[in-house]
């Protein structure tokens, strides 16, 4: 059973402390200090408050890896994201482009329904739900085609990740805020190519074209001088978007008739900046999508049973 992580900040004048319940990213604890209202305290409080806005608690284990999905497409999610050494359908190229060499011409389309449970707690007060929006449809599409015995091409369109919180009962009202929340979504379009190097080994490459958008509201109490380098672009700026590109490299190798191994490397996806939120993110609005390395093993135990 997953245990919630708790971080605390100094209590307010009503002796309440804000704690984060299952944040996607750890926030540093704020030390007690008599000078609670100095700029250092405000900056740390802003960091923790932003973490609260972004915090999500998925109803099942492995529902997300931070802000990223643990798998792309319904098949991968059903298998816990263990797709790097297998080929279920065309969407497998989203994890490992080399997988196309071990599959036939294929077309797949689907929709995932993501229903995370989000919230935070003020110790000594009450729990606050961030489930202002309860469900999120995530569409996906992929197609692959063999050009000949050695070469395959395809394209996948999928949601790479994201998060949403909506505190309709304003959690930051105690600190001067209003209804608070964040909405972040990331979309990938990945044209891919794979080559069968030998009968048992394939390699592949994908170009990852990315689009992301974000909206943050309800943290206007942190517009005081010294809290943000650009307070005019900190909160309540409606949606802003960014685009970028990166690449993925992959390989798969058939060790035996029943055992296959795979590995992929996805580069940093360098994104343009969120200009409307230049005061919220580091580097004046920078929010690149991080690199990722994945390795795995796929075992076909019986014609109808697979382990990965």
Per-residue pLDDT reduced to its tens digit, 52-91: 455 444 334 344 555 677 777 777 776 767 778 888 889 9
Q: Could you give the number of structural domains in the chain?
A: 1
In a domain, 11, yes or no: no
What are the E-state strand segments in the chain?
17-20, 64-65, 68-69, 106-114, 119-123, 127-129, 136-146, 151-167, 180-196, 201-217, 240-254, 259-266, 270-271, 292-302, 305-307
Please count the helices (runs of H) and the strands (runs of E) in the chain: 3, 15
Q: Which domain holds residue 181?
A: 65-117+124-307
DSSP string, 57-76: B-SSTTSEETTEESSSSHHH
49 assigned to some structural domain: no
Least confident of 62-66, 119-123, 184-188, 301-305: 62-66
Distance in angstroms (rounded) separating the CA atoms of residues 158 and 85: 19
* Domain membership flag for residue 162: yes
Q: What is the mean pLDDT of the chain?
A: 76
Residue 78 lies in a domain: yes
Residue 146 lies in a domain: yes
Mean pLDDT of 192-213: 97
Of 79-83, 112-116, 136-140, give the range with the top mean pLDDT. 136-140
CATH code of 131's domain: 2.40.160.60
Position 18 in a domain: no
Would you say residue 15 lies in a domain?
no
* Top-confidence range, 43-52, 114-123, 284-293, 297-306: 284-293
Region 264-288 average pLDDT = 92
Kindly state whether residue 140 falls inside one of the protein's structural domains: yes
């Amino acid at each position: 059973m997953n245990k919630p992580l708790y971080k605390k900040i100094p209590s307010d004048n009503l002796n309440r402390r804000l704690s984060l319940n299952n944040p996607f990213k750890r926030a540093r604890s704020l030390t007690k200090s008599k000078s609670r209202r100095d700029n250092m305290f405000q900056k740390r409080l802003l960091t923790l408050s932003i973490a609260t806005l972004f915090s999500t608690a998925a109803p099942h284990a492995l529902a997300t890896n931070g802000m990223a999905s643990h798998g792309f497409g319904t098949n991968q999610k059903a298998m816990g994201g263990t797709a790097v050494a297998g080929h279920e359908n065309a969407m497998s190229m989203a994890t490992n482009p080399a997988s196309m060499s071990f599959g036939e011409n294929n077309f797949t389309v689907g929709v995932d329904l993501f229903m995370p449970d989000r919230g935070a707690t003020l110790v000594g007060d009450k729990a606050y739900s961030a489930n202002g929006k309860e469900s999120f449809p995530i569409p996906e599409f992929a197609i692959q085609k063999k050009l000949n015995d050695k070469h395959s091409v395809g394209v996948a369109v999928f949601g790479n990740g994201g998060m949403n919180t909506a505190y309709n009962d304003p959690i930051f009202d105690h600190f001067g805020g209003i209804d608070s929340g964040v909405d972040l979504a990331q979309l990938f379009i990945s044209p891919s190519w794979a080559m069968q190097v030998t009968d048992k080994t394939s390699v592949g490459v994908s170009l990852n074209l990315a689009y992301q958008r974000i909206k943050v509201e309800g943290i206007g109490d942190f517009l005081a001088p010294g809290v943000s380098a650009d307070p005019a672009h900190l909160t309540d700026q409606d949606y802003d978007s960014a685009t970028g590109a990166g690449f993925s490299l992959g390989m798969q190798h058939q060790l035996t008739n029943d055992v296959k191994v795979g590995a992929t490397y996805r580069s940093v996806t360098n994104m343009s900046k969120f200009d409307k939120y230049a005061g919220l993110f580091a580097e004046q609005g920078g929010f690149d999508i991080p690199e990722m390395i994945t390795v795995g093993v796929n075992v076909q135990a019986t014609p109808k049973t697979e382990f990965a």
